Chains A and B, each alone.
Chain A
Amino acid sequence: MKQLASTIGVAVALASMASFGVQAADVPGVSDTEIKVGTFGPLTGPVYIYGKLTMNGVEVYFNKLNEKGGIHGRKLVLVREDDLCKPEGAIAAVKKLVYEHKVFAIIGGGCSNSTLAARPEIEKAGVPFHVFAAVADGIVDPPATNIYTTQLTASIESHAQIQWALDRGSKKLAIVSQHDAWGRSRYEPMLQDLKRRGLQVVADEEVTVDQNDGTAQALRLKSSGADAVLLLGYPKAAAVVIRDSIKIGYKPIWIGQTAIQDLPALQGLIGIDGSLANFVSITTIPGHPDNPQYAEWKKLLKDTFPNDELSVFNLMGIAAAEVFGKVVEAAGKELTREKFLAAYDTIDNFKSSVYPGPITCKGEHKCNQSPAFVKLDNNSVVLAGTVVLK
């Protein structure tokens, strides 16, 4: 009898240990006091801003939540991995986050191409992934059960640029684009949308990310007679083409996208007052980081990262983290990955403190489908309008 009791005792102890083990294995990265969240993107290299600064924004938001006691008593801990904006780097970063750091979920993806390359690994691991900066449609299209984005995707932005030009009566459209992976993720959907509408561009010019002069492009645009130019370039490339167009007296409507949404900074790069009189850009945030509405974020960022000036990239991280936090909260105290992913359905017309339009993940993995445009008015960034995609 005594032997039987001790056998049952050992069995119960083993069973409870096993059940504890299963619970821990089922919810990686979650303890009673913290939730380990991974992030990846470029922390170094030429485009570190899309990773490092966006992650700084995420961390600022997590800190804010943590100071209030976290979510359901658990603090959010961010674990960073550098993917160098390279596909192989992103795959390695995801593996490290999932299998070494054993994170609960990932909020990240600074570069489109590298994030796209990491998608199969993310799907295989089943780790929830919330995209904070990368724009390539292929990351969420076709949808994967564990991947959501609150960033506008490249195709939505490209369609919106065309729509803006057509809504303003433009007859001759031109494209100026970078032909790197980032540029192509926008350029190809743009060409497809133009084809769908039966339109042809009158000029199709190329720039590089390090362009120092845009006179040749400006001359070719001018001679084509284009009345609207769709800009698919980073700030420097856009700045030199606009600057040199002004130099030769060419003034079309310039239509930019979220990579060049910081209009005061763009005007500073161009260096000529009034240079953005005919310029609009799709925006992630309805204003400028210096606007009073972001004063709280500015202060919190300075507290944590004294060298940073609040930028759009920081705000992109803050915005994504805000939605991510809402989903964690909606998933409840008994947090599992399944409950977390199911909780994305509760995000319906969510008004974030940063994104210009509502965020809806209910039945949709591209949660942000509200492109808005900003313009510079008396040196202030103001909303120029929105478009209805047709």
Chain B
Amino acid sequence: MLMFSYLMATGITTGAFYALVALGIVIVYKATEVVNLAHGELFMVGGMLAYTCYVMEGLPYVPSLLLAVAGAFLVGILTERVAYRSVLKHGLASVLVATIGVSFILKGIARYIWGGKGDYLSFPPLVSPEPLQFGNIMIMAQQLVVLLAAVVVMAGLALFFKRTRAGKWMQATASNPKAALLCGLRIDRIYMYTFAVGAAVAGAAGVLMAPLTLLYPDVGFVLFIKGLAAAVLGGITSVPGAVVGGLLLGVIEQLAAGYVHSSIQDVVPFLVIMFALTFLPTGLFGVRGLRKI
């Protein structure tokens, strides 16, 4: 029973990691129908910028977090303007290739700037690194911070899409770009801000998760795969779905590793993606497209 409790608690807290990554993927997909394959690298950039501010320059934590998020937001704008905007009109395949290119470029830049300082950079946690006791199990306090952050970001995004004009413009653009254009929306600008908001969420996730994931130029790839699995499971256009998908993925992964064998832990996300695509093509919370006759 103790083992089950530990696996469930760890599954939920690691699932919050995946949920935070999935949220950024969902934002971009919801508005542009593009899966940003450089999303993991935006996560890494956020973490590295925070490392520079907080560890190297000695700034306080909150300004470091804000600067890192702002930096990631700017990188999001820059990548959209330079790499994606011109290829968006050529179709999804071209944009996907562009996102792969951006992913490699960001990793290369990170290796150049932060690459000579050791293999992994450790980032001090926001809270005490000692585990906290809940009943008869122990949980890392930083994992609870990430869990809380996932809930806050999810709530914020839900409000953003439901209550703000910008959120509605993004959804309208995603739903029908031509109609949005006819209504006077500047869809190129909306795309730009969508990529930037997605990058900012990735940057925030990078800062919050860095004490647990550590920082290195390639840290984003595995988390991106897991975030994508969570997003697909939740229904890739659903914000609550991304969170539920992330938590489910975390729990499944832990239970499989604990009760079957640790060797299958990293196979789980791929099995989840295959399962979701085969049996739940719209995911748990996705909406099937409506067609009027």
Structural contact, A179 and B263, CB atoms closer than 8 A: yes
Q: A44-B108, A269-B122, A309-B117 are in contact. Are A248 and B138 (CB under 8 A)?
A: yes
Closest Cβ of chain A to B37, distance in Å, is 16
Structural contact, B111 and A48, CB atoms closer than 8 A: yes
* Residue of A46, A236, A271 touching B124 (CB-CB under 8 A): A271
Structural contact, A272 and B129, CB atoms closer than 8 A: yes
Binary CB contact string for chain A from 215 to 237 against chain B (1 if under 8 A, 0 otherwise): 11101100100000000001110
Q: Chain B, interface size: which category? A: 35 or more
Question: Which residues, 225 to 256 on B, are CB-close (under 8 Å) to A?
Answer: 254
B residues less than 8 Å from A239 (CB atoms): 120, 214
Structural contact, B214 and A219, CB atoms closer than 8 A: no
A residues less than 8 Å from B122 (CB atoms): 265, 268-269, 271
The answer to whether A345 has its CB under 8 Å from any CB of chain B is no
Q: How far is the CA of A53 from the CA of B114 in the complex (A)?
A: 12
Q: A217's closest neighbor in chain B, by CB?
A: B262
Q: How far is the CA of A365 from the CA of B14 in the complex (A)?
A: 46
Structural contact, A215 and B7, CB atoms closer than 8 A: yes
Q: A213-B10, A220-B258 are in contact. Are A269 and B120 (CB under 8 A)?
A: yes
Q: B4's closest neighbor in chain A, by CB?
A: A219
Q: How far is the CA of A212 from the CA of B218 in the complex (A)?
A: 13
Structural contact, A265 and B138, CB atoms closer than 8 A: no
Closest Cβ of chain B to A239, distance in Å, is 7
Q: A215-B6, A248-B138 are in contact. Are A236 and B258 (CB under 8 A)?
A: no
The answer to whether B52 has its CB under 8 Å from any CB of chain A is no
Residue of A49, A179, A217, A311 contacting most chain B CB atoms (<10 Å): A49
B residues less than 8 Å from A244 (CB atoms): 10
Q: Chain A, interface size: which category? A: 35 or more
The answer to whether A3 has its CB under 8 Å from any CB of chain B is no
* Residue of A205, A208, A234 touching B266 (CB-CB under 8 A): A208
Q: How far is the CA of A272 from the CA of B122 in the complex (A)?
A: 12
Structural contact, A52 and B115, CB atoms closer than 8 A: yes
The answer to whether B116 has its CB under 8 Å from any CB of chain A is yes
* Residue of B108, B119, B213 touching A234 (CB-CB under 8 A): B119
Structural contact, B6 and A48, CB atoms closer than 8 A: no
Q: A206's closest neighbor in chain B, by CB?
A: B263
A residues less than 8 Å from B139 (CB atoms): 247
Structural contact, B17 and A235, CB atoms closer than 8 A: no
* Residue of A205, A216, A234, A311 touching B7 (CB-CB under 8 A): A216
Closest Cβ of chain A to B269, distance in Å, is 12
Closest Cβ of chain B to A305, distance in Å, is 6
Q: How far is the CA of A247 from the CA of B138 in the complex (A)?
A: 6
* Residue of A217, A235, A307 touching B119 (CB-CB under 8 A): A235
Binary CB contact string for chain A from 227 to 261 against chain B (1 if under 8 A, 0 otherwise): 00000001110010001101111000000000000
Q: How far is the CA of A215 from the CA of B116 in the complex (A)?
A: 31
Structural contact, A271 and B263, CB atoms closer than 8 A: no
A residues less than 8 Å from B263 (CB atoms): 179, 206
Closest Cβ of chain A to B5, distance in Å, is 10
Q: Which residues of B are interface residues toward A (Cβ below 8 A)?
A: 3, 6-7, 10, 14, 17, 108, 111, 113, 115-120, 122, 124-125, 129-131, 138-140, 211-214, 216-219, 221-223, 254, 257-258, 261-263, 265-266
**24 CB < 8 A contacts A-B:** A44-B111, A46-B216, A56-B116, A208-B265, A208-B266, A210-B218, A213-B14, A215-B258, A216-B10, A216-B262, A219-B3, A234-B119, A236-B216, A244-B10, A246-B131, A247-B138, A262-B118, A265-B120, A265-B122, A269-B120, A269-B214, A271-B211, A307-B113, A313-B119
Q: Which residues of A are interface residues toward B (Cβ below 8 A)?
A: 44, 46, 48-49, 52-53, 56, 179, 205-208, 210-213, 215-217, 219-220, 223, 234-236, 239, 243-244, 246-249, 262, 265, 268-269, 271-272, 305, 307-309, 311, 313
